[in-house]
Amino acid sequence: MTFDYVVVGGGSAGCTLANRLSEDGRHSVLLLEAGPPDSNPWLHVPIGYGKTMFHPVLNWGFHTEPDPNMNGRRIYWPRGRTLGGSSAVNGLIQIRGQPEDFDGWAAQGAEGWGFRDVLPYFAKSLPSVEKIRQRSELVDAFIAGARDLGIPRNDDFNGATQEGAGYLHLTTRNGRRCSAAVAYLRPARGRANLRVETGARAGKILLEGRRARGVSYRKDGSEFSAGARKEVILAAGALQSPQLLQLSGIGPGALLQRHGIAVLADLPGVGANLQDHLALRIIYKCTRPVTTNDELRSVFAKARTGLRYLLFRSGPMAIGVMTGGLITKVLPESGSPDLQVFISTVSAEQRGAEPHRWPGFTLVYYPMRPTSRGRVEIASPDPQAAPAMHPNYLATGHDRRLMIEGARLVRRLAATPSFSPYVLEEYSPGPSVKTDEQILEAVRNAGSSGYHPCGTCRIGKDPGAVVDPQLRVHGVQGLRVVDASVMPSVVSGNTNAATVMIAEKGADLIRAAAH
Q: Using CA atoms, how far apart are residues 286 and 420, in angstroms rounded to an integer?
A: 10
Q: Using CA atoms, how far apart are residues 97 and 275, in angstroms rounded to an integer?
A: 15
Residue 275 bridge partners (DSSP):
454
Q: Using CA atoms, how far apart are residues 201 and 216, in angstroms rounded to an integer?
A: 9
Tell me the per-residue pLDDT of 67-97, one tens digit each, with 9 for 90 and over.
999 999 999 999 999 999 999 999 999 999 9
Residue 354: per-residue pLDDT:
87
Residue 128: per-residue pLDDT:
76
55, 169, 277, 452: which one is catalytic? 452
Residue 18: per-residue pLDDT:
98
Residue 133: per-residue pLDDT:
83
Q: Using CA atoms, how far apart are residues 34 and 379, in angstroms rounded to an integer?
A: 19
343: CB partners within 8 A, 6+ apart: 138, 139, 142, 322, 323, 324, 325, 326, 361, 362, 363, 364
Residue 99: per-residue pLDDT:
97
Residue 17: per-residue pLDDT:
98
The answer to whether residue 474 is catalytic is: no
| Positions in the chain whose pLDDT score sits under 70 | none
Residue 95: per-residue pLDDT:
95
β-strands 62-63, 76-77: how paired? antiparallel
Tell me the per-residue pLDDT of 427-483, one tens digit each, with 9 for 90 and over.
999 999 999 999 999 999 999 999 999 999 999 999 999 999 999 999 999 999 999
- The SS3 call for residue 80 is strand
Residue 252: per-residue pLDDT:
98
**What is the CB neighbour count within 10 angstroms for residue 365?**
26
Q: Using CA atoms, how far apart are residues 456 and 454, in angstroms rounded to an integer?
A: 6
